[in-house]
Amino acid sequence: MYKDKCNSKNRFSGMAENYNRFRPTYSSDTIRFLNDAIDFNENLVLADIGAGTGISSKMFLENGNEVYAVEPNEDMRIVLERVLSKYEKFHSVEGSSEVTNLQSESIDVVISAQSLHWFNPKLATKEFSRILKSNGMIVVIYNIRRNNLEGFMSEYSDLISKYGEKYINKSDDNLISKFFGERKVYEKILYNPQVVNFEELKGNLTSYSYVPKENNPKFKNMIEELKNIYDKYNKDGKITLEYDTYVSCCKIK
């Protein structure tokens, strides 16, 4: 079930800098897959909905696309604008998945990167249909931790489950189908490892909205346990965070 919209707008307040520095980028093969699957090219106009600090927007701007980065959270949007203002085809928009504030039939492809779970499926689909041109597409991108591994990733996942809010650990396997229904969906899983030091590992952990922050009594113990795991598994000061980038795309109009 999607998270409460109002809650999601405020949930990342005060976390934007950490999010921008330590969240993983998406697989470099993402655009190559889209080229093959839906004839994606640099001439398409994109709306990146729930753009956050611009991790996904940057990838498409560097591909040459015009990108309207729609973000409801002011803290996130401030970082987004600072990071991406150098790109001529970048546009920052205060809006949400339900009210994007974009013109009707102005967008070729809607991008949702690491944000679909915050959307109301019915209202968002209606809004995307409004802003998309004929033959418009939706592309959903997620970085997902590999939780079924032994060693470091297993213990890191256990740590997150231990300290994270309980509701966040419940995934929705029907998330994509709620948006795409019976339409044909093109999907790809792309391996996306991230090699980090301890500072970056700590930043990755604390960038999640559902783990304790520094003013929480649990924070100190969480970081101590994280350091123990890091000390156990690091090689020459580095740890590999094992991610897969999941890409799904579908024509909805």
- Domains of the chain by start residue, with CATH: 5-146+171-193+243-251 (3.40.50.150)
Residue 18 in this model has a pLDDT that exceeds 80: yes
Residues 78, 82, 84, CA angle at the centre, nearest 5°?
115
Question: Is the pLDDT at 170 greater than 50, yes or no?
Answer: no
Measured from the Cβ of residue 98, the count of other Cβ atoms closer than 10 Å reads 17
Range 20-40 average pLDDT: 95
β-pairing verdict for 45-49 and 107-113 = parallel
d(CA 207, CA 189): 23
Q: What are phi and psi of 165, to 5 degrees?
A: -60, 140
Single out the residue of 28, 40, 56, 188 nearest to residue 116, CA to CA: 56
User: Mean pLDDT highest for which of 5-9, 60-64, 124-128?
Assistant: 60-64
**Distance between CA 113 and CA 179 in Å, rounded?**
14
Query: Percentage of the chain with pLDDT > 70?
Result: 91
CB atoms within 10 A of CB 18: 20
Query: Given pLDDT bands bounded at 50, 70 and 90, which one contains residue 209?
Result: confident
* pLDDT for residue 181: 80
Rounded to two decimals, what is the model's pTM?
Answer: 0.88
